[in-house]
Structures are given as C-alpha cells and as structure tokens.
C-alpha cells in the first residue's frame, strides 16, 4: 500500500514538473510573439537596398501569380471545349441510333403491309398427318 502512495506522489511531482516546463515554454513563445508583433507594428526601417529587393520579390510573385492565372484560364477553356465536343459527339451518336431504330421500325411496318402470296406461304408448311385416315 505504501508503494502505491509513493507511486502516486511521484506521478504527481513529475506532472507538476512537466506543467512548469510547458508553462515556461509557452511564456517564452508568447513573449517572442509579442516582441515580433510590437516590432512589426512600429515598423522596422528597411534600407533602400532591402526596399528594392522587397519590391523585386513582390514583382516576381505578381508575375508568377499572373502566369498561373493565365495557365488555369487556358486549361479551363480547353476543358470546356473538350466537354462541348464530347457533348456534340454524344448527341450525334444518339441521333444516329434513333435514326437506325426508325429505319428498323419502318422495315418492320413495310414487311407487315406486304401481301402474302398464298402459294409461298403454303409451300413452306409441312402437313402432318396424325392418326388413322388423317
């Protein structure tokens, strides 16, 4: 039982140490963040060379962004064109399919309307005689 009590006490002490260390780290990080915020709020003075370099970097970023925008717009246009072509092909395929169905239906109707020659119709039939005297 004494071992259990000392184990709990040891865990509590270690937890307290970890909490202190984490608290100190958070305080340090927070302090650094506050200092950086204060410096950026007051504005650090840049040298003319740094200003020129920053402007050049900004211009490069803008040019890269414009290039990407143009690329994405071209890609979008190409995709729209391909979709439109596919849609037209599908519509043509459906029309051809419908026309083929209509031709088949017309042929069926014409076949039904043709008069059947009784000789031809009878020639294909075989008489089956069943039973006696049939």
Q: Evaluate if residue 25 carries a pLDDT over 60.
A: yes
10 is a domain residue: yes
User: How many folded domains does the chain comprise?
Assistant: 1
- Full residue range of the structural domain in which residue 24 is found: 1-44
Q: Evaluate if residue 1 carries a pLDDT over 50.
A: no
What band does 103 get if pLDDT is binned at 50, 70 and 90? very high
Question: How is residue 55 written in tokens?
Answer: 């402007």
Q: Evaluate if residue 71 carries a pLDDT over 70.
A: yes
77 is a domain residue: no
68 is a domain residue: no
| Closest residue by Cα to residue 21 from 50, 29, 78 | 29
The confidence score (pLDDT) of residue 124 equals 58
Q: Evaluate if residue 40 carries a pLDDT over 60.
A: yes
| pTM score of the predicted model | 0.42
Q: Evaluate if residue 93 carries a pLDDT over 90.
A: yes
49 is a domain residue: no
34 is a domain residue: yes
**Mean pLDDT calculated for residue range 49-63:** 94
CA atoms of 120 and 33, how far apart (whole Å): 103
CA atoms of 79 and 71, how far apart (whole Å): 12
86 is a domain residue: no
6 is a domain residue: yes
Residue with tokens 């865990």: 11
**Mean pLDDT calculated for residue range 20-44:** 73
38 is a domain residue: yes
């Amino acid at each position: 039982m004494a071992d259990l009590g000392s184990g709990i006490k040891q865990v509590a002490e270690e937890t307290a140490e970890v909490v202190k260390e984490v608290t100190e780290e958070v305080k340090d990080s927070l302090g650094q963040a506050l200092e950086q915020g204060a410096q950026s709020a007051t504005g650090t003075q840049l040298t003319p060379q740094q200003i020129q370099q920053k402007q050049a970097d900004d211009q490069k970023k803008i040019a890269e962004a414009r290039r990407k925008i143009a690329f994405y717009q071209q890609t979008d246009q190409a995709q729209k064109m391909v979709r439109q072509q596919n849609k037209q092909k599908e519509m043509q395929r459906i029309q051809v399919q419908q026309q083929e169905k209509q031709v088949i239906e017309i042929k069926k109707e014409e076949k039904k309307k043709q008069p059947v020659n009784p000789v031809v119709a009878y020639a294909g039939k075989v008489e089956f005689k069943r039973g006696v005297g049939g």
